[in-house]
Amino acid sequence: MNNLAKAALAAAAMLVPGAAAAQPAIGNVRISAQIPVVCNIDSDDFAIDSAMGQAQGTVREFCNAAQGFVVMASYRPLEPGEEVRVSYDGETSELAPGGMSAVAFRSGPRLRTIPVLVRSTGLQSGISVALGMTPV
């Protein structure tokens, strides 16, 4: 940059009044954010053989949905005479024969570790119950 250009830039900088730069800014600013809904349940499947009759463990549930979420169990269809019950955090649900059942509803966002007990009667063969969740 030549000396003439440097001098022109310096002169232009002196034309900006310092008082104008020190005045407080007046106006409105609106800031918003969209946070995606994320739900996850961390659990191994609960496997039961016909002789054992039950399985127990814990799951870790996380969901930031303000409206809450539903915990679902998926499993093989039940044969006539087979019964499977899931106790999820103290609430017991009997699983429907079709292979998918809701086992719990949670209102609001959560991050918790939950005890789970799966009991069966009359199993003709082993069964594995997988838990998942969906936001409401």
Q: Mean pLDDT over residues 62-91, rounded? A: 96
Distances in Å between the Cα of 129 and the Cα atoms of 24, 28, 29, 78 are: 63, 54, 51, 11
Share of the chain above pLDDT 90, in %: 74
Distances in Å between the Cα of 108 and the Cα atoms of 51, 69, 91, 131 are: 39, 8, 18, 19
Q: What is the mean pLDDT of the chain?
A: 88
Q: Mean pLDDT over residues 61-76, rounded? A: 96
Strands 54-63 and 39-42: antiparallel
79-132 pLDDT per residue, tens:
999 999 999 999 999 999 999 999 999 999 999 999 999 999 999 999 999 999
Phi-psi map region of 89: left, alpha, beta (phi>0 left; psi -120 to 50 alpha)? left
Find the Cα–Cα–Cα–Cα dihedral 130, 52, 115, 96, rounded to 10°.
50
Task: Please give the CATH topology (third level) of the domain spanning 39-135.
Answer: Jelly Rolls (2.60.120)
Question: Does position 16 have pLDDT exceeding 70, yes or no?
Answer: no
Q: What is the pLDDT of residue 25?
A: 74
Q: Hey, where are the domains in the chain?
A: 39-135
Asked if residues 47 and 130 have their Cβ atoms less than 8 Å apart, the reply is no
* Angle (CA) 78 93 128, round 5°: 45
